[in-house]
Amino acid sequence: MEGEPSTSAREPIPLLTPVDGVPPVIVDAAELTAAAERLAAGTGPVAFDAERASGYRYSQRAYLVQIRRRGAGSLLVDPVPLGNLSVIQEAVGDAEWVLHAASQDLPCLAELGLRPSLLFDTELAGRLLGYERVGLGMIVERVLGYGLEKGHSAADWSTRPLPEPWLRYAALDVELLVELRDALEAELIEQDKIEFARQEFAGIVAAPPREPRAEPWRRTSGIHRARSRRQLAAVRAMWTARDRMARTRDVAPGRVLPDSAIMDAVLNAPADTAALIRLPIFSGPRIRRTANTWLDALRSAAALPDDELPAPAGPSGDGLPPPNRWAERDPVAAARLARVRAELSTIAAAHTMPVENLLEPALSRRIAWSPPDPLTESAVEEALIAGGARAWQRELTRTALNSALVDPEPDPADEAAPPATERAGGRRAGRGGGAGGADRPRSRGGRAGAGRSVRGSAGRPTAGSPVGAAPADGGASSIGATPTGGSPTDPASAGGGATKPSASGPGPTGSAPAGPGAA
């Protein structure tokens, strides 16, 4: 890819153990205080990382915190017995933090009293530089030439005691973060993107906590198979019962009851416990013990009055129709969105970055659906500000957006022409030489496409899109995408989090966007 560092022909150097060995895990207050003093005596940025147990536990708490600073070495801190780590916060002061995919770890670090005032996100830096693969191992290998072991990323970090190989892996995750930061900063400066990065990093630091998802039960895998509001109510009831049980046990929801079992029960509507436990999964001894819980949920949904049943479709995140329905709802807006996407894709390609990092997809859709009126470049600027776009994003996109949002004047010839059906009927009558001609079959070579409207091309992807270019249906890209694993803000999808997904992504918070779509 143009602008991406050249790949070296030599094999990466395996990094198998930290240069100073695996540090002991800090588990008591005295050890933590001594470690904080070492950090305070160190210099330069501070590398942070955290390990969670997303696919195993309901909570998203940190079960291990890794820290490294020049002059202080690496620290492994067990926050479970310690709770608050604010002594670390005091030790590092206003020093810059270095994290990879910061939006993934900052919430659990904040629970421990750790919040950065300055940040460098190596994953987001890689995106802005146009790297196609931005996982920590891939970037370290490409930029620094070292190969990191990633074999324990899916481990259950709530395990105690933590095995030595896991601790070695965890220490290696921060071993080269500061060196990686320095190399990426140099590339950002060389590509004249350092100001882009600084604004993005500041946006991550200033971002408020994410709001819980509305109606998270609608993300149950296979819910599209529910064909009635009554079945949707049954999905909701079973999801809610599972979530309550998972929260109480601190177990990932998918380990309590998988989504497939919820949908199986909803679609089969068992009348009693015996019928329920004949279904796959429910017949197992562990889930059979909770059969009454699931049957009660199904019965409660069956007893709901009609006015308490859920709507067929859930609330849209931005209140707009799905982009693949725009041509049906508003062909002019659909054509406008296609022009906006084309312009953004061109700009993103010119600056060698994913289009979703250039401008948050939801924001580009909102502006395309309802442009400023009157339409001026300053009005577009105000709309971008209101949508949370950074200064660098506004500078790159406002002029092109202003042009793309201008709807072309209708073609007078199109307005004067009779509808396609009338034209076709006239030809049939003329050919028939009277009433009898109307019954003549049309030639198979006739122009069935006459009268075709603009909606046929709206929303199609443009050729030559850059990395991360918008999909035609406006769906979310892999950046910031919410995994199907459970979390306290989205426990609907249980069992994910095996690897750290990319989170620093698009738009006003520099992340996903929640996860985190294509413009």
253-264, pLDDT tens digit by residue?
Answer: 999 999 999 999
Contacts of 161 (CB under 8 A, 6+ apart): none
Q: What's the pLDDT tens digit per position in 79-111?
A: 999 999 999 999 999 999 999 999 999 999 999
Same domain? For 89 and 24 the reply is: yes
pLDDT category, 9, cuts 50, 70, 90? low
Question: Which residues partner with 46 through β-bridges?
Answer: 69, 97
Residue 332 domain boundaries: 320-441+448-477
Q: Is the pLDDT of residue 281 over 90?
A: yes
Same domain? For 345 and 403 the reply is: yes
Same domain? For 403 and 423 the reply is: yes
pLDDT of residue 417: 55
Cis amide leading into 24 (omega within 30): no
Same domain? For 194 and 55 the reply is: yes
Q: What's the pLDDT tens digit per position in 16-35?
A: 999 999 999 999 999 999 99
Q: Which of 286, 308, 330 is the last residue of a domain?
A: 308
Q: Which of 163, 179, 206 is the last residue of a domain?
A: 206
pLDDT of residue 315: 73
Comparing 457 with 69, which gets the higher pLDDT? 69
Same domain? For 240 and 380 the reply is: no
Same domain? For 298 and 411 the reply is: no
Distance from C-alpha of 109 to C-alpha of 114, rounded to nearest angstrom? 5
| Amino acid at position 96, single letter | E
Same domain? For 97 and 245 the reply is: no
Distance from C-alpha of 357 to C-alpha of 516, rounded to nearest angstrom? 11
Q: What's the pLDDT tens digit per position in 198-229?
A: 999 999 999 999 888 899 999 999 999 999 99
Residue 441 vs residues 91, 422, 430, 438: alpha-carbon distances, Å? 86, 16, 13, 8
pLDDT of residue 390: 98
Q: Hey, is 1 helix, strand or coil?
A: coil
pLDDT of residue 418: 57
pLDDT category, 316, cuts 50, 70, 90? low
Q: Which parts of 179-247 are beta strand (E)?
A: none
Residue 377 near residue 401, CB atoms below 8 Å: no
pLDDT of residue 416: 58
Please state, rounded to an integer, the average pLDDT across all residues of the chain.
83
Comparing 134 with 211, which gets the higher pLDDT? 134
pLDDT of residue 317: 64
Distance from C-alpha of 58 to C-alpha of 289, rounded to nearest angstrom? 20
Q: Which of 206, 238, 264 is the last residue of a domain?
A: 206
Say if 488 falls within a structural domain. no
- Classify residue 58 as exposed, middle or buried by CB count within 10 Å of its CB (0-12, 13-18, 19+): buried
| Amino acid at position 28, single letter | D
Same domain? For 272 and 410 the reply is: no
Say if 66 falls within a structural domain. yes
- Kindly compute the dihedral angle of the four CA atoms of residues 384, 385, 390, 391, in this order, to the nearest 10 degrees: 100
Say if 487 falls within a structural domain. no
Q: Is the pLDDT of residue 8 over 70?
A: no
Using the 8-state DSSP alphabet, how is residue 410 labeled? P
Q: What's the pLDDT tens digit per position in 288-305?
A: 999 999 999 999 999 999
Same domain? For 285 and 188 the reply is: no
pLDDT category, 414, cuts 50, 70, 90? low
Average of per-residue pLDDT across 407-421: 65
pLDDT of residue 498: 38
Q: Is the pLDDT of residue 511 over 80?
A: no
Residue 57 near residue 158, CB atoms below 8 Å: yes
Q: Is the pLDDT of residue 509 over 70?
A: no
Distance from C-alpha of 179 to C-alpha of 165, rounded to nearest angstrom? 23
Say if 5 falls within a structural domain. no
Residue 465 near residue 353, CB atoms below 8 Å: no
Q: What's the pLDDT tens digit per position in 471-483?
A: 434 343 333 333 3
Same domain? For 341 and 458 the reply is: yes
Average of per-residue pLDDT across 167-181: 97
Q: Is the pLDDT of residue 504 over 80?
A: no
- The angle, 0 to 180 degrees and rounded to 10, between the axes of the packed helices 391-404 and 377-386 is 130
pLDDT category, 279, cuts 50, 70, 90? very high
Q: What's the pLDDT tens digit per position in 362-402?
A: 999 999 999 999 999 999 999 999 999 999 999 999 999 99
Say if 391 falls within a structural domain. yes
pLDDT of residue 41: 98
Average of per-residue pLDDT across 436-460: 35
Least confidently predicted of 240-249, 416-425, 458-467: 458-467
Say if 489 falls within a structural domain. no
Comparing 319 with 447, which gets the higher pLDDT? 319
| Amino acid at position 365, single letter | R
pLDDT of residue 514: 36
| Amino acid at position 437, single letter | G
Residue 120 near residue 98, CB atoms below 8 Å: yes
Same domain? For 235 and 292 the reply is: yes
The CATH number assigned to the domain holding 435 equals 1.10.150.80
Determine if the pTM surpasses 0.75. Answer: yes
The CATH number assigned to the domain holding 122 equals 3.30.420.10
Q: How many domains does the chain have?
A: 3
Distance from C-alpha of 236 to C-alpha of 112, rounded to nearest angstrom? 33
- The angle, 0 to 180 degrees and rounded to 10, between the axes of the packed helices 164-175 and 177-190 is 30
Distance from C-alpha of 254 to C-alpha of 257, rounded to nearest angstrom? 5
Same domain? For 225 and 141 the reply is: no
Say if 494 falls within a structural domain. no
Say if 265 falls within a structural domain. yes
Average of per-residue pLDDT across 356-360: 97
DSSP H or E stretch at residue 338: helix 331-350
Q: Is the pLDDT of residue 428 over 60?
A: no
